[in-house]
Structures are given as C-alpha cells and as structure tokens.
C-alpha cells in the first residue's frame, strides 16, 4: 500500500498534475506541524565563485554532478538552488576561485552569548591535527559554547531506525538516506528513486532533534563539519572547519595553548550501535560482501543503474550508497590520497565502543522522515534543443558528439542548460573547433573576391622561394592593378565597384591552375604566383588575364575600355638569392601603367 501511494504521487508529479508532494511513511504518522522558522539559506554553507580569481577555465563545470555551475559569457556562478554541496568543484578549480561560505558571523555571535551548543563532527580530529581533540574541544568551550557534541548521538538514533527497517523483510529495495548529497541528487535528478529512500533523517538532523530535547527547544545550535547540507533546517548556523578556526581567533582563543586533557567532562563521544554516518554495526557484520540483501555502492555514477532497476521493479535489497568513501573523503578535508591517513587519525582519537546504549532508553524521538519531489522547471522544447545541436554540429556519422567536454553528459543536456541560461557555447569543444576552422578559412579567403588574403600570399611566397631554391625550379609573380578604378568607383558607386572586383576575382581564379595561387593584395590590386613557370610563361598568362579583365566591363554593362588592368610580371631565378620578387613585379607593373595602362610589362 505504501509503495502504491508513492508511485501514484510520482506519476502525478511527472505528468504535471501536481506541483509538490511530501512522501511520508504510513507507518510513521507525522506529529503536529512544527512552528514556522525564519528561512535563511545560509544555515547551510554556500559555494561561491570568487570573481577576481576566476579565469573562466570551466574546470568546475566539468566535475559538477548537479550541473549547478552557470556560465554567462565570461561570468561563472553557482546556482545555489541546484547545488548539492558535494564540494567537488573546490579542489577541481586550479585557481582557488571557489569559496565555501558559512554563517560565521552568526556562529560567532551565538558563541559570544554563551548559550549555543556546538555540533563538532568527528572529522575535526583530522582537520585540526596535530592538535589533540581535547585541545580543540577545550578551545570551543573557551570561545563560549555551552556544550560541544560530536554527532555520535545522531548516528546512534539513525542506526536504531535502520535496525528497525532491517527487521522488516518486506521492503524489497531500500536506499540509504544518511548522506544529504545522495538525497538531494535523487530528489533533483532521479525522482523515480524517491519512494525507495529509507525514511530516516540524516544523523545531524537527528542529533539536532535530540539536543533540543536535551537542552530545550529554543537552544541555538551551531554545526561545524563537511556535510554542508546536513540538518540545515534544524541548526541556527553552519560553518566549515576553517571558519571554526577563524571563530576561535575572533574570540581570542588559541588551540595550541589549550591543555591536552579535558578541562570539563566531555559530552558523549562513545558509540554503541552505530558506525560513522549512522549505519548500524550489526547489519554490516551480518551481511557479507556478496549478499543480495545488502549492496555497497560508492560514487554517484551508480544512481542511473539504480533508477533503471527501480523502474523495472528489480528488488536490490538495502543499497548502501555514498558519493565518496564517507565524510573523511570529502573534498574539503584534503586530497583523496590522504584518506587512509585521515581515517587513522580519527580512529586513534575515538574512545572505545560502549557496551551499553548511550542514548536515553525512553528518548521517544521519531527520526523518520519523508522526502519531497523537486520540480526542476519546464524542459526546453525539443525543437529548440535540436537547433542547438545543429549549431554545435554533428559527427561525420551524423550523430551528436556527446563528448562530455562541456561538463554535461550529452549534447542534449548541454543544449537544455544553454537554453535555460546555465551554459554557453564557449564550453562546447566541437563548436569552438568549428568556429576556429571557420575563422581560419575567413582569414585565408578574401570575403569579397573569394581569393586568398594578403597573409596567405606572404606565407605561400615564402614557401615557393624555399621550394625553388631547393629544387632549382623557377616561378613567376604577376602583379595586377585595375586602371582608373577610383574614377569608376566615384562615378558609379561602391556597389558597382564591388561587382567589378568580384568579376575580376572570378577571372583570376579561372586563369590559374590549382597549384598556383591568386590573392587580393589590397584595394584594386591582385597578385598571382605561378608555380614552375618562368618569366616568359608568366607574360603569356598575364596577357590572357589582361584580355579577360577587358571583357569584364561589357559583361557588367560598362562601356568598352572602362574596365581594364595593367600587369607586371617578374620571374624568380633560384641562382639569384636574395632578390625581392614581389618588388620586381611591382616595378614592372608601374612600367605597364606608364604607357597608359591596359598593358603587360
């Protein structure tokens, strides 16, 4: 019945007949509605782009699993509503341009009041090393915190709930929900898995609930750790370990000056039932690695396969999935190659496991929860997505590139992000390659005449000189200049002048071989390189070109003789090194013009 209700709600969401659902297990009815609290997004730590440091390299885009990095021209930003706070972007940025920003001001003010309780997660032992955990805790007390807890009580509460679920053989598939990164990814990207999430709060949310029962409902709570979305609705401020260091400095507290023993009786640090993250130790000991009732997955790459199995109604048992190897593997704690060192530090700092329960036996807390579907907005129209893919270009086989260089798995996903204003063509490698090829073509071809540009002419002339000196073969250069072109331009207008230039360009293109090159030198001047042709051969070609240009005028409606050209020809002799062949052709051109034009010299 419970699964049927879940699937009905999922169908309603996906078909657009509802806007939002809260899924609540029928076996755990909700209590009275909680009193409203002021919504403040910064109770969770934000990831922000440091604009002065950001160079737009887009490394963060390529590693973000939530597609939460938006690119608008040269500006890069993180969409807070989509960010799942996995932290992968921080070490991926080679320029240190991503900041983690918690509510340090609020946390400092609460510590100064002397009434706040600090939840300092066990990973602090690795962050503050080589300072002893006792020194860190003493420093937190000296800074003004009323009590310092370690997340152990929340782990115990969650482990109790999982033991109850484990005893029920009817659930089929159950996905671990202790990690907020996994939960948020499922809610945003894999709604078909929402009904299978274990209906249990995260350990920090459970701990916050327990502490409010212990100290009173109005006790202010500050969270310091790396699971930066954990219990966001239940704490009054969330900060990173780096920000806790700054808080201690602001309160004139130095960790290294603290005694290496507890100055106050510490709050409960022992575990009885749980392991770090809230998994019950008996379950982990009971199920072997190949168990069909227990599957361990690490990394978010497995969510797609889980979603497919859920759609096909394949029972997977209990799925222990985390985005990494636990909180000690979080990117904010340091490089992955130091993981086992951090584990060793934390293991050595933890007290021995308690033989008896560490929770009050009659605590009466309900740490079950439901999960809301998230609507990510309207999908872009299919034809708009297709148009973006066409703009990018396709592979030689006619399929989308889907190379993933942009940070999105497919061209369709990139197109949707672009249409939603979250991406730019600058991220697309195939598109940029097409633009580069087009720019190179534009730089090589004169837009008006279709002939080569001056830059290409220079490169080709240098190549021909080198080739001629190696092989001993001559080549000729022909300089072409339209006679009285300024007068024609002034008398008939620039549009008609452009028609003449285009027609002359076509005649030159047809007059030369594929091995030769005709280029626009500038304005109404052209240069032709005739490969393996001596000066006498160049004069013959020049005379044919002169006659062809003379015939352009009447074809365009001009009077005979209004469109003519003067041509100068020079031959390059390999034996005469150092000669300026272009200058020689230019001097010949001026001799042709000196005779009245429409001539070859």
Distance from first CA to last CA of the chain, Å, rounded? 99
Under 8 Å between Cβ of 423 and 70:
yes
Integer Cα distance of 300 and 323 in angstroms:
5
**Which residues does 552 contact at the CB level (< 8 Å), separation at least 6?**
500, 503, 504, 507, 563
For 481, phi then psi, to 5°, come to -135, 125
Integer Cα distance of 589 and 567 in angstroms:
5
User: Which ranges constitute the DSSP H helices of 75-234?
Assistant: 89-92, 104-113, 124-127, 133-143, 152-166, 180-189, 203-215
Sheet holding 317-322, edge to edge: 173-175, 317-322, 294-298
Q: Would you call 117 helix, strand, or coil by DSSP?
A: strand
Number of continuous H segments (helices) and E segments (strands) in the chain = 22, 17
Integer Cα distance of 281 and 56 in angstroms:
46
Under 8 Å between Cβ of 477 and 560:
no
| Nearest in space to 45 (alpha carbons), one of 241, 229, 203 | 229
Angle in degrees, 0-180, between the axes of helices 485-492 and 494-511, rounded to the nearest 10: 140
Q: Which helix (H) or strand (E) holds 502?
A: helix 494-511
Integer Cα distance of 218 and 379 in angstroms:
42
**3-state DSSP helix/strand/coil % of the chain, to nearest 5:** 45, 15, 40
Active site residue 524: yes
Long-range contacts at 14-18 (CB < 8 A, ≥ 24 apart): 14/191
Integer Cα distance of 379 and 400 in angstroms:
19
Integer Cα distance of 113 and 145 in angstroms:
8
Instruction: Extract the tokens encoding 276.
Output: 């770090």
Query: Which residue's entry shows tokens 């609540």?
Result: 24
Cis amide linkage into residue 480, ω under 30° from 0: no
Of the residues 320, 516, 524, 586, only one is catalytic, namely 524
Under 8 Å between Cβ of 21 and 377:
no
| Nearest in space to 268 (alpha carbons), one of 394, 143, 155 | 155
| Nearest in space to 240 (alpha carbons), one of 142, 160, 334 | 334
Integer Cα distance of 311 and 493 in angstroms:
71
Under 8 Å between Cβ of 542 and 600:
yes
Concatenated DSSP letters of 36-103? P----GGGSPEEEE-TTT-----HHHHH-TT--EEEETTEEEE-TTT-----THHHH-TT--EEEE--
Residues carrying an active site annotation? 524
């Amino acid at each position: 019945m419970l699964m049927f209700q879940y699937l009905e709600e999922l169908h309603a969401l996906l078909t657009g007949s509802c806007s939002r659902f809260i899924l609540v297990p029928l076996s755990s009815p909700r209590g009275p509605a909680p009193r409203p609290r002021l919504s403040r997004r910064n109770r969770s730590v934000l990831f922000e782009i440091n604009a002065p440091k950001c160079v737009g390299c887009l490394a963060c885009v390529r590693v973000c699993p939530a597609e939460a990095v938006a690119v608008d021209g040269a500006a890069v930003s993180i969409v807070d509503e989509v960010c799942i706070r996995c932290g992968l972007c921080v070490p991926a940025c080679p320029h240190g341009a991503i900041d983690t920003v918690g509510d340090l001001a609020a946390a400092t003010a609460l510590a100064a009041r002397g009434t706040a309780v600090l939840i300092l997660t066990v990973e602090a032992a690795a962050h503050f090393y080589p300072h002893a955990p006792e020194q860190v805790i003493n420093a937190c007390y000296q800074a003004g915190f009323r009590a310092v807890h370690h997340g152990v009580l929340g782990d115990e509460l969650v482990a109790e709930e999982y033991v109850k679920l484990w005893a029920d053989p009817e659930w089929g598939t159950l996905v671990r929900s202790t990690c907020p990164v996994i939960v948020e990814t499922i809610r945003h990207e894999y709604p078909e898995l929402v009904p299978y999430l274990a209906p249990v709060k995260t350990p920090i949310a459970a701990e916050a609930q327990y502490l409010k029962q212990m100290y009173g409902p109005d006790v202010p709570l500050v969270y310091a750790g790396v699971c930066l979305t954990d219990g966001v609705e239940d704490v009054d401020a969330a900060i990173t370990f780096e920000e806790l260091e700054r808080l201690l400095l602001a309160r004139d507290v130095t960790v290294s000056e603290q005694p290496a023993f507890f100055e106050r009786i510490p709050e409960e640090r022992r575990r009885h039932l749980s392991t770090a993250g809230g998994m019950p130790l008996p379950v982990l000991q009971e199920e072997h690695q190949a168990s069909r009732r227990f599957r361990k997955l690490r990394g978010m790459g497995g969510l797609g396969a889980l979603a497919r199995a859920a759609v096909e109604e394949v029972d997977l048992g209990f799925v222990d999935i985390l985005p990494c190897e636990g909180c000690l593997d979080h990117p904010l704690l340091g490089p992955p190659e130091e993981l086992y060192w951090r584990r060793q530090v934390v293991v050595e700092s933890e007290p021995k496991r308690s033989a008896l329960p560490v929770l009050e036996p009659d605590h009466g807390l309900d740490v079950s929860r439901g999960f809301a579907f998230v609507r990510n907005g309207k999908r872009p129209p299919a034809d708009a997505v297709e148009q973006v893919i066409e703009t990018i270009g396709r592979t030689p086989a006619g399929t989308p590139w889907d190379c993933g260089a942009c940070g999105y798995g497919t061209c369709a996903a990139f197109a949707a992000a672009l249409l939603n204003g979250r991406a730019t063509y600058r991220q697309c490698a195939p598109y940029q390659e097409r633009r580069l090829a087009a720019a190179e073509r534009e730089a090589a071809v004169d837009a008006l005449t279709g002939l080569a540009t001056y830059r290409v002419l220079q490169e080709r002339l240098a190549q021909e000189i080198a080739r001629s000196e190696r092989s001993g073969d001559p080549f000729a250069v022909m300089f072409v200049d339209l006679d009285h072109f300024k007068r024609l331009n002034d008398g008939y207008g620039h549009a008609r002048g452009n028609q003449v230039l285009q027609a002359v360009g076509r005649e030159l293109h047809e007059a030369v071989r594929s091995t030769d090159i005709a280029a626009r030198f500038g304005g109404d001047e052209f240069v032709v390189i005739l490969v393996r042709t001596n000066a006498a051969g160049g004069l013959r070609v020049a005379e044919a070109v002169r006659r062809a240009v003379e015939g352009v005028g009447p074809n365009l409606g001009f009077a005979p003789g209004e469109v003519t050209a003067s041509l100068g020809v020079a031959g390059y002799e390999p034996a005469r090194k150092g000669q300026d062949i272009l200058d020689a052709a230019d001097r010949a051109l001026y001799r042709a013009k000196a005779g009245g034009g429409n001539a070859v010299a």
